[in-house]
């Protein structure tokens, strides 16, 4: 028979996995169209190209006209398949890193930020192969029915490019930067501000308090980490010249984009990213917190 501590740990872990998976599934189903739009902006190099997108509205219009409504859901299967392990890793490791850091007597602000950084780096390793497949599908401008399935895309990448850092795991350094920085800000800001702002006894106002703090957390984290996101999309997306790998490592890609396209190019796709991860980040935290609380009470 397992010890009480052992049982308690696995019960807690199961609750965090289920709550985190639920949070991720809800967020991705609501916000995926904005992720497609964000990726399209990040992989285009010049607005002078007649096929390029001039604005957010222009991007939505062109995708809808040429690819149909389902065009906004391209690449959704990899994130859905990844969401349960991804969010399970995100929230579970955040809680575990936090436990490891508390005995070190660090200031609470540092504990939340460092635990967030650790959870983001761990999450990035799990999710990166799914991101490579997703970006490849999102970059495809053919009608939805004409594009390969997620599994066919994954097989093609592995067959032609392998499973290493130039294949199904390419862009890992940029993914580590994106998720590490995002979660450090996301968790650090959310829990520190939430603990500083008084709890409201009214259930509706308390929900709104958490939602606004979560919205601010997701927005701030998105603004700070987007250069890593742009680098990831460039590395994982189609290269400017077929057969020639221009974008390889994270920092070299950021420097190349800056030199060739200017500082603002590192913020391509920022608006759809904020539109997705601002409210999406709030939704995810709230679904996680309420699901976790319900599981703790009923399981």
Domains, the chain, ranges and CATH? 4-298 (1.50.40.10)
Average pLDDT rounded to a whole number, residues 219-234 = 96
Average pLDDT rounded to a whole number, residues 57-73 = 92
Average pLDDT rounded to a whole number, residues 76-87 = 77
Plot region of 262 (φ>0 → left; ψ -120 to 50 → alpha; else → beta): left
Average pLDDT rounded to a whole number, residues 14-37 = 86
Query: Which of the four pLDDT bands, split at 50, 70 and 90, describes residue 251?
Result: very high
Give dist(CA 190, CA 196) in Å, integer: 10
Higher pLDDT, 92 or 211: 211
Query: Which of the four pLDDT bands, split at 50, 70 and 90, describes residue 4?
Result: very low
Percent pLDDT > 90 in the chain is: 55
Give dist(CA 284, CA 24) in Å, integer: 6
Q: Which of 56-70, 130-144, 149-163 has the lowest mean pLDDT?
A: 130-144
Proportion of the chain in helix, strand, coil states, percent, rounded to 5 = 80, 0, 20
Higher pLDDT, 238 or 226: 226
Percent pLDDT > 70 in the chain is: 96
Query: Which of the four pLDDT bands, split at 50, 70 and 90, describes residue 47?
Result: low
Name the residue with tokens 């019960």. 11
Query: Which of the four pLDDT bands, split at 50, 70 and 90, describes residue 155?
Result: very high
Query: Which of the four pLDDT bands, split at 50, 70 and 90, describes residue 83?
Result: low
Give dist(CA 269, CA 150) in Å, integer: 23
pLDDT, position 138? 84
pLDDT reading at 135 higher than 80: yes
pLDDT, position 54? 87
Average pLDDT rounded to a whole number, residues 223-238 = 94
Query: What 8-state DSSP symbol labels residue 198?
Result: P
Higher pLDDT, 12 or 57: 57
What's the CA angle centered on 94, arms 88 and 96, to 5 degrees?
95
Mean pLDDT of all residues belonging to the chain: 89
* CA distance readout (Å), 141 to 133, 145, 155: 15, 11, 20
pLDDT tens-digit readout, 109-126: 999 999 999 999 999 998
Question: Residue 226: phi, psi to the nearest 5?
Answer: -65, -30
Average pLDDT rounded to a whole number, residues 264-274 = 93
CB 281 within 8 A of CB 214: yes
CB 35 within 8 A of CB 138: yes
Query: What 8-state DSSP symbol labels residue 48?
Result: T
Higher pLDDT, 295 or 47: 295
pLDDT reading at 5 higher than 60: no
**Distance linking the first and last C-alpha atoms of the chain:** 19
Q: How many residues does the chain have?
A: 299
Give dist(CA 93, CA 115) in Å, integer: 8
Q: Which of 72, 179, 89, 93 has the alpha carbon at shortest distance from 131?
A: 179
């Amino acid at each position: 028979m397992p010890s009480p501590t052992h049982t308690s740990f696995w019960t807690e872990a199961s609750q965090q996995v289920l709550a985190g998976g639920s949070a991720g599934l809800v967020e991705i189903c609501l916000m995926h169209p904005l992720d497609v739009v964000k990726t399209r902006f990040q992989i285009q190099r010049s607005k002078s190209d007649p096929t390029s997108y001039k604005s957010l509205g222009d991007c939505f219009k062109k995708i809808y006209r040429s690819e149909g409504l389902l065009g906004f859901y391209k690449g959704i299967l990899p994130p859905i398949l990844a969401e349960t392990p991804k969010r399970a890793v995100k929230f579970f490791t955040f809680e575990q890193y936090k436990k490891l850091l508390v005995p070190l007597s660090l200031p609470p602000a540092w504990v939340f930020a460092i635990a967030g950084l650790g959870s983001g780096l761990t999450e990035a390793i799990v999710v990166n192969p799914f991101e490579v497949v997703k970006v490849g599908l999102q970059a495809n401008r053919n009608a939805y029915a004409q594009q390969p399935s997620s599994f066919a895309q994954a097989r093609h990448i592995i067959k032609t490019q392998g499973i290493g850092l130039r294949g199904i795991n390419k862009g890992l350094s940029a993914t580590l930067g994106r998720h590490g920085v995002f979660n450090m800000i996301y968790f650090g800001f959310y829990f520190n501000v939430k603990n500083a702002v008084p709890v409201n006894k009214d259930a509706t106002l308390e929900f709104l308090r958490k939602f606004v703090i979560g919205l601010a957390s997701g927005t701030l984290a998105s603004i700070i980490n987007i250069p890593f996101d742009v680098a990831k999309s460039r590395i994982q997306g189609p290269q400017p010249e077929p057969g020639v790998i221009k974008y390889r490592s994270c920092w070299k890609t950021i420097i190349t984009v800056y030199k060739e396209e200017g500082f603002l190019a590192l913020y391509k796709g920022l608006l759809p990213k904020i539109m997705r991860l601002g409210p999406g980040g709030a939704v995810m935290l709230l679904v996680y917190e309420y699901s976790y609380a319900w599981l703790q009470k009923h399981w």
